Structure 1
């Protein structure tokens, strides 16, 4: 996926709130803004969700649970 730089004018209070949220999620402000935009676009049907493939690490020696 290619990315394009885009200048953004944003209210100082909104930017500060995004910074706090980004810090909580261990993201940069730029990544947090992109995450929020993408999530909103998916929720409103504007773009399709790209599913991530995850791998679960399992301890083979751990007792099995049901």
Structure 2
């Protein structure tokens, strides 16, 4: 079972938040995902990202499993 993600309250200057939100939108990320991306990059660049840290969850919908793909194939009309 994956560890539960931590929730924090973050206070930002409105201008910083707006700039982050625009940047996140340009990268097709949520503002939260953009902040996590930047924090991870800064930690990695400083050599401080722990080895056991999991990957950032992928964008968009989760990939279909083989079972879901088989179910969808039987529903298709020729």
TM-score, normalised by the number of residues in structure 1:
0.69
SS of 1:3's equivalent? coil
Q: Structure 1: which 4+ aligned runs deviate by more than 4 Å?
A: none
Report how far residue 5 of structure 1 moved.
0.6
Aligned length: 52
Name structure 2 gaps, 5 residues minimum: 56-78
Once superposed, what is the RMSD of the aligned Cα atoms?
2.0
Q: Tell me, yes or no, if structure 1 residue 25 matches structure 2 residue 27.
A: yes
Match of 1:16 in 2: 18
As a proportion of its length, which structure holds more helix? Answer: 2
Could you tell me which of 26, 44, 47 is aligned with 2:46? 44
1:16-44, CA deviations, whole angstroms, 9 ceiling, x for partnerless residues? 00000000000000000000000000000
TM-score, normalised by the number of residues in structure 2:
0.59
